[in-house]
Amino acid sequence: MKTSYREALRQALREALRNDPRVFLMGEDVGRYGGTYAVSKGFFEEFGPERIRDTPLSELGFVGAGVGAALGGMRPIVEVMTVNFSLLALDPIVNTAASLRHMSGGQFSVPLVVRMATGAGRQLAAQHSHSLENWYAHIPGIRVLAPATVADARGMLGPALADPDPVVIFEHAQLYNLEAELPDDWRCDITHAAIRRTGTQLTLITYGGSLPKALQAASDLAHDGMDVEVIDLRVLRPLDTATVAASVRKTHRAVLVDEGWKTGSLAAEIMARLMEDCFFDLDAPVARVCSEEVPIPYAKHLEDAALPQVAKIVAVVKGMLHV
């Protein structure tokens, strides 16, 4: 039986709440409403208001409260409705949670998990649709995860809660309705990238909501005789450069698919690392497919045009393979 990405997240949260009394969930509409994306539906009745806490509309306030709770020995899971709103909480995440272990000489840690929806494709316009994962991946002191499969949605929360340092989990909003068979062994580490499809001619490197597009592009290319490998980064900080480099040394070509903008993107960072580590293994310059350099539009046809799409990925790969 297939399980949805949303249900996998729900199972992970329920397991964490049942197994550890220190765990609680807090955020806007997570309680009585059941979560903006229905991930915590029914939790308020099951676990009560002490552990499923509805908060005021103040990301700065409730993320800061989560940092304090983590310092006090709790294991808070803080849900931020969308990545755009998380900018209001950059101070407690970046200046406090990410820095305290270093600033205290190892005396304090902040075992905080922050979950947030990211990405476009739902006609919610610029204030609800951007992909700012790289802003967080830039910061030392936090771990940044982007589960792109049902199995990772189920398996990443446990090790994230066990991490003594802050973990930020990005859930692409287009994935909540994704369905797949949940494997018996859904547990995963939060250290390594994953090879989602093996190939020999070119490596597609991506994460989050762009993974289904990359896999579809690889499938379409296979019909035309092109053998493409697909790497799911999964962990955006610290990056698993070794897995990516090993793939590129095998295929000798790489295309990055990143819903962020090109300028200052995660794609740019990976391109730089490939230049440092794999320059003499490459048979062509590394290419990338990113969102257009505009605030994400509301109109459907403009939103689609602004985002990486399967046809764009296929065209770039064919151009690199001279097909």
Q: Which residues are catalytic?
A: 59, 128
The string of DSSP letters for 178-218 reads: -EEE--S-----SS--EEEE--SSEEEEE-GGGHHHHHHHH
Preceding peptide of 238 cis, ω within 30°: yes
Any alpha helices (H) in 54-120, and if so which ranges?
A: 59-71, 83-86, 90, 100-103
Structure tokens at 76: 């808070």
169 neighbors 284 (Cβ within 8 angstroms): no
Structure tokens at 24: 């609680």
Range 287-318 burial, b when 16+ CB lie within 10 A, else e: bbbbbeeeebbeeeeebeebbbbbebbbebbe
Range 116-130 burial, b when 16+ CB lie within 10 A, else e: bbbbbbeebeeebbb
**Positive or negative torsion for Cα 306, 209, 178, 313:** positive
Distance separating alpha carbons of residues 77 and 39, to the nearest angstrom: 13
Determine the distance from the C-alpha atom of residue 117 to the mean position of all C-alpha atoms in its chain, rounded to a whole number: 9
Distance separating alpha carbons of residues 93 and 75, to the nearest angstrom: 15
